[in-house]
Structure 1
Amino acid sequence: MHTPASMVMGIVFAPLGLVLLFTAAITPQWREGQTRLGMSGPVSLLRSGVKGQGMGVRSGSVEALLLVRSDGLWESCLQVEHSELKQCWPVAGPYQRDPRVRLTQGLVLTSLFLCGTGIVLACIGFRCWTDIPLRGVAATGGLLVVMGGLLSLTALGVYTHNLGRLGMEDPHQGISRLPHLNLRPAGSLYFGWLGSCLQVLGGSALLFSFKRPRCPTCPSYPELPVCPACSSCPEINKPDTDVYEISC
């Protein structure tokens, strides 16, 4: 099978990037922040749950609990560090209504759709069951993958640039009143960056499928280029059994 190395590289990197970006989109660790809370506020809601786990904490130790807040594109979570007490809910409030969050959601969904469509076209163009791949179809799929990767990079850039300001106009977020959090990028954001870069790399490799391979010429007719897969030159595609003409 005459499949170029660039097409093989693209058909490997593009799905890997799609999986990483999809993992980042559905996980709620795009940003996170930590704070120590006293007896009042959100910890009062969690106090009974902490005692219910048999931790046997005193009032003084409850004051030292570290509360971790994480936000994603479609889900937010609240967890007490060093415990199994965790609560998640769909994004709501100012964070959900923030136009930059909505823009990121739309760009990521569009990126996933374009990349998935491009991978399907690339697989059709790959044509493992034949000797000659459909280069035009594979390259078109690569173009869609590149476009999807660029859209996801744009979404990640917008979110990262405004990470500390998203949904901060109203002190009420999620289910309770939270103090100021020192927000920082979290693991899902890094997965998204890596997946987007792999999408661009894999799509760019597939774009090289537009370039036709250099085929050897027929020894008898060097001015006529032919492809080894064609039968226009018998000296290139000669049968396994040689036929000799014997004259008496």
Structure 2
Amino acid sequence: MRTPGMLIFGLVLSPCGWILDLTSTVAPNWREIRAVPGESQDLILQQGIWDICRAFETNRDIECNQPDATYFENEIIRVAQGLMIASLLVTLLGLAVATPGVRCWTDRPNYCVAGLGGILIFLSGVMTLIPISWYTHILDDIPRTGGTITVGFSIVLGYIGGIMEVLAGAALIIVMCSCCGGKNRGEKPSKPTEKPSHTKYPMSRRIEVPSISRSKSTGSSVPYSKDSLEDDDFPRSKSSSSYGGKPYDADL
């Protein structure tokens, strides 16, 4: 039996979402601050949940490990750190559970095990979307030293990765609900095939039918014999009386 497409979809999409979430977690680019007062105009201050970096538009120099106690003491930073790490771990756990259930080496998938892994992957996607959405909602309220604020690429990657994990987990859960017991595409649990029983019919008695012999006539193909033809069966025309001892023309 082939693996259902929804299971393959969930098993492929969840690792892709995990990679995007990992990039969003470690990259220090949740928001960018430009035109910082008292700094160079080409300075870009990149802030993440673990680190703060100083980048410049005119060159490729990046200075990380910048101190900012006010920023890291914010509640959203501590919540985002915990939820993003938990999301990465739960995703790995969900993949470890779902992979044996999806199977590529057995006759039938284990829909219950695959669905349990899908629930874990779905929850990991939700745990990613919560801090990402919260951070975006209060983007301007997080303390800063001035300047203009823009959303960093880590927020975008976090949104995409979280949505991918939610879709992957939902696909595995849907397959578990609709296909449990092998009902997908009309599949039914295999049963031992029964050998057809040979019906024994009673032996029929042989009946001899007597043959009917018919007499064949010689020299004729008609069903009657030559001897059966009599003069009475085919009357002949009687000769009329002659006049003057001469027969009529009709008698000739």
TM over 0.5: yes
**8 Å Cα contact 2:94-2:121 kept in structure 1:** yes
Residue 131 (structure 1) aligned to one of 99, 107, 115: 107
- 2:157 is matched with 191
Residue 84 (structure 2) aligned to one of 84, 93, 108: 108
**8 Å Cα contact 1:26-1:74 kept in structure 2:** yes
Residue 231 (structure 1) aligned to one of 158, 175, 191: 191
- The secondary structure found in structure 2 opposite 1:201 is helix
**8 Å Cα contact 2:45-2:52 kept in structure 1:** yes
| Residues 138-177 of structure 1 aligned to structure 2 (within 5 Å) | 138-168=114-144
| Residues 4-43 of structure 1 aligned to structure 2 (within 5 Å) | 4-35=4-35, 41-43=38-40
TM-score, scaled relative to structure 1: 0.72
Q: For residues 141 and 2 of structure 2, what CA distance do their matches in structure 1 show? A: 52
Structure 2 spans left out of the alignment, 5+ residues: 204-252
| Change beyond 3 A, Cα 1:79–1:113 | same
**8 Å Cα contact 2:32-2:45 kept in structure 1:** yes
Following TM superposition, by how much is the alpha carbon of 1:158 offset from its aligned partner in structure 2, in angstroms?
Answer: 0.8
**8 Å Cα contact 2:36-2:147 kept in structure 1:** no
- 1:214 is matched with 183
Following TM superposition, by how much is the alpha carbon of 1:153 offset from its aligned partner in structure 2, in angstroms?
Answer: 0.8
- The secondary structure found in structure 2 opposite 1:107 is helix
**8 Å Cα contact 1:10-1:206 kept in structure 2:** yes
**8 Å Cα contact 2:36-2:146 kept in structure 1:** no
| Change beyond 3 A, Cα 1:132–1:75 | same
**8 Å Cα contact 2:28-2:49 kept in structure 1:** yes
- 1:202 is matched with 168
**Which AA in structure 1 matches 2:19?**
V
| Change beyond 3 A, Cα 1:97–1:215 | closer
- 1:97 is matched with 73
Q: For residues 191 and 2 of structure 2, what CA distance do their matches in structure 1 show? A: 16
- Is it true that 1:88 corresponds to 2:57 in the alignment? no
**Which AA in structure 2 matches 1:124?**
P
Structure 1 spans left out of the alignment, 5+ residues: 44-64, 169-178, 218-224, 239-243
Q: How many residues align?
A: 199
- The secondary structure found in structure 2 opposite 1:132 is coil
Following TM superposition, by how much is the alpha carbon of 1:186 offset from its aligned partner in structure 2, in angstroms?
Answer: 1.1
| Change beyond 3 A, Cα 1:214–1:185 | same
Following TM superposition, by how much is the alpha carbon of 1:197 offset from its aligned partner in structure 2, in angstroms?
Answer: 0.3
- The secondary structure found in structure 1 opposite 2:32 is strand
| Superposed CA RMSD | 2.9
- 1:181 is matched with 147
Following TM superposition, by how much is the alpha carbon of 1:182 offset from its aligned partner in structure 2, in angstroms?
Answer: 0.9
